[in-house]
Amino acid sequence: MPELRQNIATREWVVIATERAKRPDDFADAERPLSESRPAREAGCPFCPGNEAIAGPPTLSVDGPGGWLVRVVPNKFPALVEDQEPMRSFRGIERRMSGFGVHEVLIESPLHNVTTALQSDVEVARSLRAMRSRGRSLARDERILVTIFFKNHGAEAGTSLEHPHSQMVSLPVVPHHVRGRLQDAGAYFDEHGSCVFCDMWRQELTAGARVIVEGAHCVAFIPYAAFSPFHTWIVPKRHMPLFIQASDAELEDVARVLRSVLRRIYFSLRDPDFNFVVRTAPNHEERSRSFHWYLSIVPKVTRTAGFEIGSGMFINTSLPEESARFLREAKSS
């Protein structure tokens, strides 16, 4: 029978559609071309070595003996721009603000034909450290309240360039979605006297059924009320509101677990498009006792439709426990 489940961190209800449930391997697309089938270098790609002038000067570069390993560059088509002040204007129902912000691209590898799943732990950790470094630098600007860190992999996830990259958008406002998660976490803390995310990772480890990988410093699991098939959270064990507070050791462990999860998804579901987002508190919430940063992975193996748009609820056609078991048993090396 179908059931409704609620995520205690976000308070979102999800329909677990057991009557429509698919086997986990039904979500694999045998016709999808794999990332590794691309050439190692694409002549017209602005992110490939030799085309650095197209991408522009970096705000951060990590170099090795043979050239750069990771680069961060301004987005050529930014959603927001730095060359203005965040001025507000209110007139009746018309509320506006100048489009101030910082939009950057993190080029994760010189190779065109890799993705996170095909990189080494060292390479994934290098990208996460570069992301943290830029986040820390941007947080020093008092005009910036929060930075959204994310990766789009594949056309269905919203990417327009195949070369492996992620993005950072720094905002002068706290989006409603972020503020809502903060408020929900605060309400849980008021009621229980503890962080909901700390409680979740501990209880998921105890239950075991939805855990995919446990690291020394973090846990990867499919939430009890996952809103889509294979929707995965990677939650640090140490309580930290901000991603930029993570230590090198913690980021290295997150990198190992992230790579392990994405390799299982890559090989078992044949390289599906996916998004990952770092859920982090605004910069001024660095001492929050209720919010806890984590990383959310969402493979794009289903589509949203009218019910989701109309209700704000999602229908998950795969049991979280079955999805987790499938990934636990999947190839990861």
Tell me how crowded residue 8 is: count the other CB atoms within 10 A of its CB.
19
Tell me how crowded residue 124 is: count the other CB atoms within 10 A of its CB.
24
Show the tokens assigned to 29. Answer: 């697309």
Enumerate residues 6+ apart whose C-beta is below 8 A from 247. none
CB 203 within 8 A of CB 293: no
Work out whether the CA dihedral 262, 281, 14, 152 comes out positive or negative. Answer: negative
- Minimal CA–CA distance to 260: which of 290, 293, 232? 232
Residues assigned a catalytic role: 165
- Minimal CA–CA distance to 102: which of 126, 84, 87? 84
Backbone angles phi, psi at 123, to 5 degrees: -70, -40
